[in-house]
Amino acid sequence: MFERKKIEHLFRRHYAGMKHLAMTLVGDDDDAEDIVQDVFARLMELDVMPAADKSEAYLMSAVRNGCYNLMRRAGVKEQVRNLWPVDAIDGGTLSEWQDECLEAIQMFVDSRLTEPHRTIFRMRFDDDMTLKEIAAKLDMNINTVYKYLVQSIQRVRNEVGPRKS
């Protein structure tokens, strides 16, 4: 109970500054709110209390790191999304293209991708796992997982992707 009161005090004292910093870095009010709340949730969950004279620096660093983590995750998602942009499809709709190519993609992945490319590709697109989840499950570095995924997507795109007229 005593720690909870300390956290409530820290919340009242530093919330506005923390939210302002998060909003400045991520530019989205909901994301900024989530980041600040996550900082306080981690304090309670881990039962960690920063030293009184360093609490502001600790909290602001935690917010900054939370923002950077969010931006890094968004950057990785955007990089993967940009590997195969929807507007690269010539004519027709996305659903028509999916119907025509899905089987060809599945056959290519099964027959032509080698391990660990095939497993990473399947985990990402069949199981909808994040790169971080895949890396943890396969005990690999996230950058290695990203590299294999990029290579796999490029091979699929080159083999069965939309052809430019």
52-99 per-position pLDDT tens digit: 788 888 888 989 988 888 887 777 666 666 665 555 555 555 556 566
Under a CB-based contact definition with an 8 Å cutoff, are residues 112 and 98 in contact?
Answer: no
Look at residues 21, 18, 19, 72 and name the one whose alpha carbon lies nearest to residue 50.
18
CB-CB neighbours of 50 under 10 Å? 16
Mind listing the pLDDT tens digit for each residue in 19-54?
Answer: 998 888 888 888 889 998 888 888 777 777 777 788
Amino acid at 148: Y
- Do 91 and 154 lie in a common domain? yes
Report the predicted TM-score, pTM, of the whole model to 2 decimal places.
0.46
Write down which residue in 79, 109, 134 finishes a domain: 79
- Same domain? For 41 and 93 the reply is no
Domain contains 94? yes
Among candidate residues 79, 105, 131, the one where a domain is terminated: 79
Same domain for 73 and 7, yes or no, is yes
For residues 90 and 59, membership in a common domain is answered with no
Whole domain around residue 14: which residue ranges? 2-79
**101 and 73 belong to one structural domain:** no
Out of 56, 79, 102, a domain closes at 79
Q: Are residues 151 and 136 in the same domain?
A: yes
68 plus 94 within the same structural domain: no
Distance CA 121, CA 111 (A): 13
Tally of domains in the chain: 2
Query: Domain for residue 57, yes or no?
Result: yes
* Residue found by looking up tokens 């293209």 in the block: 97
Using CA atoms, how far apart are residues 87 and 78, in angstroms rounded to an integer? 15
